[in-house]
A and B are shown apart, each in its own frame.
Chain A
Amino acid sequence: GAVVSQHPSWVICKSGTSVKIECRSLDFQATTMFWYRQFPKQSLMLMATSNEGSKATYEQGVEKDKFLINHASLTLSTLTVTSAHPEDSSFYICSGLGAETQYFGPGTRLLVL
């Protein structure tokens, strides 16, 4: 099956710093990638839809200036959490859209101190 990787898998940062998370489709081209956020014991909440070569579409309530998304190639999308605060601590999961389904990355756990 198709594989999506994320890097890093774990990141701890100080409040006020920015953190970049990479999402790569390893064996397929993903014109569309999605970024989700998951709080403990809760479901995945879609943050934004990222299309290669164009601006991301953000879900209601997600600040686009805080969560910067860049989808510069068919295999790479990045999410940058700018000026991170403790309430941004969460599990961030990306997915790439394949022919019939989405293929999910393993997730990145962010802890902001």
Chain B
Amino acid sequence: GEDVEQSLFLSVREGDSSVINCTYTDSSSTYLYWYKQEPGAGLQLLTYIFSNMDMKQDQRLTVLLNKKDKHLSLRIADTQTGDSAIYFCAERRNQAGTALIFGKGTTLSVSS
């Protein structure tokens, strides 16, 4: 399909791991991103992965990329209440200077 797909909601308990999944559209996309948006705020870049990588880890965040299935995931270890936000997956298609294509966002709710 033409849309970047994400599940809409995820609810976890504090201290658990969260896994947010995304299916992107273009197998030749060069970069894939995860952004975080807190209520009423702009987008904060969390991490990104280049298409020739399978995995990237950055502190509590682990990104896995399956190019064959065009599947991207974000794992947040030891999830905290401050992680509650909307998480957007985005792809940068293989065209110079092109804008990012965003998914609809996954709302992560962390309960204590």
Contacts and interface: CB of A to CB of B under 8 A. Distances in A.
Contacts of B88: 43-44
A1 B58 CA distance: 15
B42 interface: yes
B31 A100 contact: yes
B43 A97 contact: no
Contacts of A1: 45
B104 to A, nearest CB: 4
Contacts of B105: 42-43
Contacts of B41: 106-107
Nearest to B89: A43
Number of chain A interface residues as a range: 20 to 34
A107 B35 CA distance: 14
B104 A49 contact: no
Interface residues of B, number: 20
Contacts, number: 45
Interface string A72-113: 000000000000000000000101010011111111010000
A34 interface: yes
22 contacts: A1-B45, A6-B42, A32-B97, A42-B104, A43-B104, A43-B105, A44-B43, A44-B102, A49-B97, A49-B98, A51-B97, A100-B31, A101-B31, A101-B45, A102-B99, A102-B100, A103-B45, A104-B42, A104-B43, A104-B45, A107-B41, A107-B42
A68 interface: no
Contacts of A49: 97-99
Interface of B: 31, 33, 35, 40-45, 48, 88, 92, 97-100, 102-105
A106 B45 CA distance: 12
Given A46-B99, A93-B42, A104 B104 contact: no
A72 to B, nearest CB: 18
B32 to A, nearest CB: 10
Interface in A3-42: 6, 32, 34, 42
